[in-house]
Structure 1
Amino acid sequence: MAAAGAAATDLEVVRGRRAALFCAAVAIVLGLPLWWKTTETYRAPLPYSQISGLDALQLRLMVPVTVVFTRDSVPLDDQEKLPFTIVHEREIPLKYKMKIKCRFQKAYRWALEEEEEALSLDNVQEAEAVLAESQEQLEGSLTVYVISEQSSLLPQDKMSYIGPGRTAVVRGLMHREALTIIGHRVIQVAQAMSLTEDVLAAALADHLPEEKWSSDKRRPLKSSLGYQITFSLLNPDPKSHDVHWDIEGAVRRYVQPFLDVLSITGNFSVDSQILYYAMLGVNPRFDPASSSYYLAMHSLPHVINPVESRLGSGTATLYPVLNFLLYVPELAHSPLYIQDKDGAPVATNAFHSPRWGGIMIYNVDPKAYNGSGLPVRVDVDMVRVMEVFLAQLRLLFGITQPQVPPKCLLSGPKSEGLMTWELDRLLWARSVENVATATTTLTSLAQLLGKISNIVIKDDVASEVYRAVAAVQKAAEELASGHLSSAFVASQEAVMCSERAFFDPSLLHLLYFPDDQKFAIYIPLFLPMAVPILHSLAKIFLETRKNWKKPEKTE
């Protein structure tokens, strides 16, 4: 009986050990990996190596320039040296992560018969109009015509001409080293019509250290997919002034043609409003000498903040808003003028704030107060107002007058208020800015995801990152090839994809759920099951160790 009981007890002990070992094996081999897999953060693979390579990307900008010679523009000895190629390459000293070089490639050909006839005219504007009809140039490309040294196409005191299109004219030479001098003039004209250090520096203003950006330069608007333009009429004294302005007709005649040309850079929406009793918030000072009031230059920044709270916008938009304010001063402060830093009145009586908009002060003619009484009807001269607002709009987009070479005749803009090569220059700047912005966004995103390992990376986010990297690389290739249009489109795609990935809401879903909190949640669930299993395993280990030592003691 005793032996049978001992055998039964041993059998129960063995069965208990097997049960404990089985439970431990199931928990460790099956349960733990299954729990780890089902609770892990899903992270789609990203091209980290390619993103890190974008920091060292050497961005090369190439402007295709075709040089067309007339038959008597260079000496016969130099004609034997044609065709020729001039390469002007210089490194822009911008201490940014991308190394920027400007490369101007010059191709050569002789003028065609119809081009010879056009260049034989006495008016360069007429000649350019004829040449524009006979050729079709791609975005970003330039054509420079070299005419005879004695040609009457240009005034005798002018060595070159820059037209409103993608065409320029350079006067040739008939002495030694003519090609060298002509090539130097061509380079100067091409730089004025396309890329300069100032243009690229303005485009990269937000990506450069402060010491590399001089504060006296105006920062243009950041590249965006669209812009909201709001024209506001401020009438602080409606009891004295009954102001009327034909803003719809003025926008249709003057602003819309300009925006139609700029539509390639983004979408534009325009609205207008009239605000009554809207004050500037700065008390003007009285000048007894001229019996007028004035605003000093140092007080202009304080004008914007009080007015901005009243502006608002008729439509909700995610795009940058440009405000253009026409302010009719109240009767107590009329006439009102703006003074420059030297104390002289500003000719336009207006000023602009970078990336915000512009303000123009419109004084009422004093003769209007000689009528029957108040309020005085004021009909705004929209031609004079729109001239100022269009000039401010050009400055806000970074479209400034080029630094023309000496003895160069610069044509006036087209009826739209924008030259074709000015639009190309804006696209060059926007392409560089977009590439820099996309690179910065992708690099920041890669650093964020590398530091915080529990952020979910979905497949659609990874797809946007891959598309952004490919678009940046394509934009760089197209810029190096001189294909401006495709380079700008690729740079826009790079910005859109990188920002969609960076601001995806899924990236913040588990941001505040680190690993220590995960263990703190699951340990109370697993601990009641794990304690008996661990206790049984420890007991089995001790008994097994005790049984191994028994034979040694008997010997």
Structure 2
Amino acid sequence: MAQTARPPETTTMASTNEEPKQPPPETPQSLWLRRAVIASFWAVVAFLGLPVWWRTTAIYRAELPLQDMMSWANAQVGTPVKAAFTPLTSTQECKLVFPLHIAVEAPLPSHDVHHLLEATQNALNDLNSFPAHQLRLAFAEPPPPANASQQVIVDGTGPAKEDDTAALSVRLIPVETGATPRSRLQPYSTNLDVYFSPNQIPLQSSTSSPLATYIAGELHQLYAQEQAQLANLISDASYRSRSASPDVAAQLQRQSARAFKYAPTYHLTFSLFTPTSTPSAWDIDAALRQYMRPILESFSGISNFTIDTQVQLYAGFSPSIRQPEYDDNAKAWTIYKEDVSGFINAAEWPLSPSIGQGPTINFALYVPDEGQAPLLVQGSRDNSWLIPQWGGVMILNPQSRDPTLTKEALVPAMQVFSTQLTSLLGLPQTPASLPLRISTLIRVHAASLIFSSSSTLGALAQVYQKMPTIPVPDSVAKSVDLSLAHLNQACESLREGRFQDALENARTANGEAEKAFFERSMVGQVYFPDEHKVAVYLPLLGPVAVPLVMAALKEVKAGIAALKGR
């Protein structure tokens, strides 16, 4: 039987001790070729990919005058010392001043008038504790008949100024009877009549007189509330601690709480509500033309107004308040005063706050059902109330139940609504002259708009510095430049006593500042942080970057090993 040959053991041992086969050595040409390929990929990334990515994803940021913006925002408003009428540069702080030129007409010789003006001016300076508000007296000759609206003001310290507009005209009228001195302020003009006796004219040798002291006291009293309001606006604590009484401060607080924020345009809505089908119409157009248009024309230099009207039938008042109760003593139906806050039925009455351009001021006239008439509000004399920063409400009990409310029947409502409108627009309650109160409102709004636009520019500068990833288009830079230019003009107009021009420039500056701050492209990027960008780019660039980085590291490691092997 044949046996199978067994291989020698030496052969098995030799096969197990053999080393694994190595790849053939890489030629220098293939080595440099691989390195050139890797380098080419990195070159494409570095010189083409990164520039294209940087260019296509770069955020454009227009240059803003940050120094001027922060200078306006951080300006400490006060009273300039001597250079009150120096031109205002872009980097100079705006020191708000309110020089009011007061023209004095007196049938006296020139030297007596100048002496009286000097004594009155000295008395005014002693009374005034708010230097930013300056009353400057000047002799005014009677206006010529051809142009009665202009006055030539002759100041004792300088030549005649034909372009100045007097904020107030003081007319000295000599009288022989009655208590003197006494005064009378015209309710619909800027004239203050002062009656005096000829023997009250100050002598040349005297530095003061009862007449000069009286005129100074009357002028100071006329502008006391305006001074307190401006001091409160510019945060002059020194004036408030010396002069502002708690009653004046409380009055200013109430006035600020109920008035609307200033706007270039207001929308007025007059609404007639009745729980039945009568009255179904009202002669509102004629009533507005006769009773409301004069007031709106008086405010035309401050804001514009648009008006619409509506009639809502079968409109019951809010069911959340107590129903009217019959009062036997008053022989009328009454509602409690504490319920008037819920009288408006906001769920069913069409009173939209955004009907027109600008804030909407609502005026609601409610005519009760004949079965609940007359309807009165306990403790209210005119049967009406004002809702702060919303509008006014009045309950009207007409004498007859005609289908149409005539213009005569609407007279009480128009009188109430006109008073409520002036309160909602922030018109001061004193002095008694309407033009003087409107001029006060012009100065207050001009100052408040300067502060508002300065604050907005400062906030925009902070956003620009703290958030470098938001885009800033050229339109923002243009709006900022316009706002700064109009701010400079507004401040200069205030210094020169041109308050209407100051209000117009301040209004434009505030509008441009808000337009720049609320730019849509900027607001959208504020809520897109950098973490979102990482989350977007990482899944795209990760798979591409890992092979390139690993290949580069491998070649670097091989090169270091080759250098050590030498």
Task: Please indicate the TM-score interval, normalised by the length of the shorter structure.
Answer: 0.7 to 0.9
Contact 2:59/2:470 (<8 A) preserved: yes
Q: Give 2:372's match in structure 1, choosing from 325, 333, 342.
A: 333
Q: Give 2:338's match in structure 1, choosing from 298, 311, 335.
A: 298
Mapping 1:300-379, distance limit 5 Å: 300-304=340-344, 306-307=345-346, 309-312=348-351, 316-340=355-379, 346-365=380-399, 379=406
Structure 1: runs of 5 or more not aligned = 93-100, 119-128, 206-210, 341-345, 369-373, 404-409, 412-418
2:104 maps to 68
- Residues 160-169 or 170-179, more deviating: 170-179
| CA–CA separation in structure 1 for the residues paired with 2:374 and 2:473 | 62
Q: Give 2:418's match in structure 1, choosing from 390, 395, 398.
A: 390
2:132 maps to 102
| CA–CA separation in structure 1 for the residues paired with 2:377 and 2:231 | 30
1:414 maps to none
Mapping 1:404-443, distance limit 5 Å: 419-443=434-458
| CA–CA separation in structure 2 for the residues paired with 1:104 and 1:188 | 15
| CA–CA separation in structure 2 for the residues paired with 1:31 and 1:188 | 79
Deviation of 1:460 after TM superposition, in Å, equals 0.8
| CA–CA separation in structure 2 for the residues paired with 1:446 and 1:220 | 30
- Whether 1:13 and 2:13 are equivalent positions in the alignment is no
1:147 maps to 172
Task: Map Cα deviations across residues 52-77 of structure 1 (whole Å, 9 max, x no partner).
Answer: 22233314131332342636499969
- Whether 1:162 and 2:185 are equivalent positions in the alignment is yes
| CA–CA separation in structure 2 for the residues paired with 1:291 and 1:138 | 62
- Residues 223-232 or 52-61, more deviating: 52-61
Opposite residue 419 of structure 2, the aligned amino acid is A
1:272 maps to 309
1:247 maps to 284
- Whether 1:532 and 2:559 are equivalent positions in the alignment is no
SS in 1 for 2:413: helix
| CA–CA separation in structure 2 for the residues paired with 1:107 and 1:52 | 37
- Whether 1:135 and 2:135 are equivalent positions in the alignment is no
Contact 1:168/1:189 (<8 A) preserved: no
Task: Report how many residues are paired.
Answer: 489
SS in 1 for 2:299: helix
| CA–CA separation in structure 1 for the residues paired with 2:307 and 2:102 | 39
Contact 1:285/1:294 (<8 A) preserved: yes
Deviation of 1:216 after TM superposition, in Å, equals 3.8
Report % sequence identity. 25
| CA–CA separation in structure 1 for the residues paired with 2:233 and 2:270 | 26
| CA–CA separation in structure 2 for the residues paired with 1:548 and 1:261 | 93
- Whether 1:492 and 2:516 are equivalent positions in the alignment is no
| CA–CA separation in structure 2 for the residues paired with 1:228 and 1:151 | 49
2:492 maps to 477
Opposite residue 505 of structure 1, the aligned amino acid is R
Deviation of 1:244 after TM superposition, in Å, equals 5.0
- Whether 1:31 and 2:59 are equivalent positions in the alignment is no
2:560 maps to 545
Deviation of 1:250 after TM superposition, in Å, equals 0.9
Contact 2:181/2:214 (<8 A) preserved: no
Deviation of 1:23 after TM superposition, in Å, equals 2.9
1:523 maps to 538
TM-score normalized by the length of structure 1: 0.76
- Whether 1:47 and 2:65 are equivalent positions in the alignment is yes
Q: Give 1:233's match in structure 2, choosing from 264, 272, 277.
A: 272
Task: Map Cα deviations across residues 364-423 of structure 1 (whole Å, 9 max, x no partner).
Answer: 43xx5xxxxx888765622232222212212121224315xxxxxx56xxxxxxx33232
Task: Map Cα deviations across residues 261-311 of structure 1 (whole Å, 9 max, x no partner).
Answer: 32222221122121111122232333232222223332221113x157413
Contact 1:467/1:497 (<8 A) preserved: yes
| CA–CA separation in structure 2 for the residues paired with 1:315 and 1:509 | 24
SS in 2 for 1:300: helix
Opposite residue 253 of structure 1, the aligned amino acid is Q
SS in 2 for 1:46: coil
Mapping 1:77-116, distance limit 5 Å: 79=115, 88=125, 102-109=132-139, 112=141, 114=142
1:415 maps to none
Opposite residue 459 of structure 1, the aligned amino acid is D
Opposite residue 135 of structure 1, the aligned amino acid is Q
With over 3 angstroms needed to count, the CA separation of the structure-2 counterparts of 1:155 and 1:30, relative to structure 1, is: farther
- Residues 480-489 or 30-39, more deviating: 30-39
| CA–CA separation in structure 2 for the residues paired with 1:202 and 1:272 | 37
Structure 2: runs of 5 or more not aligned = 1-23, 78-94, 153-161, 236-245
Contact 2:353/2:360 (<8 A) preserved: no
CA-based RMSD of the aligned residues comes to 3.8
Q: Give 1:399's match in structure 2, choosing from 419, 427, 430.
A: 427
Contact 1:142/1:167 (<8 A) preserved: no
Deviation of 1:81 after TM superposition, in Å, equals 8.9
- Residues 488-497 or 383-392, more deviating: 383-392
Contact 1:54/1:439 (<8 A) preserved: yes
Task: Map Cα deviations across residues 125-184 of structure 1 (whole Å, 9 max, x no partner).
Answer: xxxx99955638979732443626x536x9635533323323323456435443697267
Task: Map Cα deviations across residues 199-258 of structure 1 (whole Å, 9 max, x no partner).
Answer: 4478789xxxxx9877544532221121111211222133xx446532111111221222
With over 3 angstroms needed to count, the CA separation of the structure-2 counterparts of 1:155 and 1:52, relative to structure 1, is: farther
With over 3 angstroms needed to count, the CA separation of the structure-2 counterparts of 1:143 and 1:514, relative to structure 1, is: closer
| CA–CA separation in structure 2 for the residues paired with 1:323 and 1:510 | 37
| CA–CA separation in structure 2 for the residues paired with 1:309 and 1:165 | 44
Deviation of 1:484 after TM superposition, in Å, equals 0.7
| CA–CA separation in structure 2 for the residues paired with 1:531 and 1:480 | 68
With over 3 angstroms needed to count, the CA separation of the structure-2 counterparts of 1:155 and 1:12, relative to structure 1, is: farther
Task: Map Cα deviations across residues 498-528 of structure 1 (whole Å, 9 max, x no partner).
Answer: 2222332222343443323223322333333
Contact 2:258/2:387 (<8 A) preserved: no
SS in 2 for 1:360: strand
2:20 maps to none
Contact 2:398/2:409 (<8 A) preserved: no
| CA–CA separation in structure 1 for the residues paired with 2:551 and 2:409 | 96
With over 3 angstroms needed to count, the CA separation of the structure-2 counterparts of 1:77 and 1:542, relative to structure 1, is: closer
Structure number with greater Rg is: 2
Contact 1:430/1:488 (<8 A) preserved: yes
Deviation of 1:491 after TM superposition, in Å, equals 0.9
Task: Map Cα deviations across residues 416-470 of structure 1 (whole Å, 9 max, x no partner).
Answer: xxx3323222211221222232233333333344443332211112211222233
| CA–CA separation in structure 2 for the residues paired with 1:229 and 1:257 | 15
SS in 2 for 1:401: coil
Deviation of 1:40 after TM superposition, in Å, equals 2.3
| CA–CA separation in structure 2 for the residues paired with 1:294 and 1:157 | 50
With over 3 angstroms needed to count, the CA separation of the structure-2 counterparts of 1:462 and 1:543, relative to structure 1, is: same
With over 3 angstroms needed to count, the CA separation of the structure-2 counterparts of 1:525 and 1:314, relative to structure 1, is: closer
With over 3 angstroms needed to count, the CA separation of the structure-2 counterparts of 1:27 and 1:182, relative to structure 1, is: same
With over 3 angstroms needed to count, the CA separation of the structure-2 counterparts of 1:34 and 1:460, relative to structure 1, is: same
SS in 2 for 1:312: coil
1:121 maps to none
With over 3 angstroms needed to count, the CA separation of the structure-2 counterparts of 1:80 and 1:270, relative to structure 1, is: closer
